[in-house]
Amino acid sequence: MTDYPNDTIRSIMERRSVRKYKPRQVTDKELKVIIDCGLNAPSAMNAQDWHFTVIQNAELIDWMNTKIKENLPKESVSRYKDRNGGREDFSMFYDAPTVVLISGDAKDIWTESNCGYAVQNMCLAAQSLGVSSIIIGMARLIFTTSKADEYAKELGVPDGYRPLYAVCFGYGDMRPEAPARIGGRVSYIR
């Protein structure tokens, strides 16, 4: 176990993308902290141009899973199947009991970055609470189809917002090892 100087750094260094979840739901208390941390993320010009749709309805999560898989590029299917233990009925959300859809103001040029900051805050907050997470970028696929407006309405996305990310939260049923970090990604100019 590495000795980190504080709990914040420990959460950053130990957070991993978890791809297998127990069925137990995240507690309301933990979920509130996670969402509040997302709402307190920095944003360009203090726009706070995000909207979070918190989904704990298993049928709606299954519906989203089906719609995303229908629009998944063929070359990605085997990759997701492999990451789900080879299951033919694989879940894009890895059977997580809570999915948060993060949408941004379609008119704000910084919305994607701003929503990304909120996502990271939520994932780190979850880690600090013992709740696992994984960010699902492919969730936006269903909002690139001819039925995008219909799907957005079904999921409570406000008019003028576009879904950008989904984040799964739950109690992990596995603990992935940290992959090796890629070197040569930092330059210092002094």
User: Domain for residue 141, yes or no?
Assistant: yes
Q: Sorting pLDDT into bands at 50, 70 and 90, what band is 15?
A: very high
Q: Which of 44, 13, 47, 43 is nearest to 124 (CA)?
A: 13
In angstroms, rounded to a whole number, what is the distance separating the alpha carbons of residues 31 and 170? 10
Instruction: Kindly report the pTM of this predicted structure.
Output: 0.92
Could you give the number of structural domains in the chain? 1
CATH of the domain at 50: 3.40.109.10
51-60, 114-123, 163-172, 177-186: which has the minimum mean pLDDT? 177-186
Higher pLDDT, 42 or 88: 42
User: Domain for residue 71, yes or no?
Assistant: yes
Helices (H), the chain: 7-14, 28-39, 58-70, 74-83, 111-129, 148-154
User: Domain for residue 190, yes or no?
Assistant: no
In angstroms, rounded to a whole number, what is the distance separating the alpha carbons of residues 35 and 48? 13
The radius of gyration of the chain's CA atoms, rounded to the nearest angstrom, is 17
Supply 34's token pair: 């996670």
Number of Cβ within 10 Å of residue 20's Cβ equals: 19
In angstroms, rounded to a whole number, what is the distance separating the alpha carbons of residues 112 and 150? 22
User: Domain for residue 175, yes or no?
Assistant: no
43-66, pLDDT tens digit by residue?
A: 999 999 999 999 999 999 999 999
Domain range spanning residue 22? 7-170
Q: CA 150 → CA 31, 57, 59, distances in Å?
A: 27, 18, 17
User: Domain for residue 178, yes or no?
Assistant: no
In angstroms, rounded to a whole number, what is the distance separating the alpha carbons of residues 65 and 70? 9
Q: Which of 25, 31, 16 is nearest to 170 (CA)?
A: 25
Torsion of CA 176, 181, 182, 187, to 10 degrees: 150
Segment 160-185 mean pLDDT: 94
Number of H-type helices and E-type strands within the chain: 6, 4
| CA of residue 164 relative to chain centroid, distance | 10
Segment 95-123 mean pLDDT: 98
pLDDT for 1 equals 59
19-23, 129-133, 141-145, 186-190: which has the minimum mean pLDDT? 141-145
Tokens 């994607």 found at: 112
Higher pLDDT, 67 or 167: 167
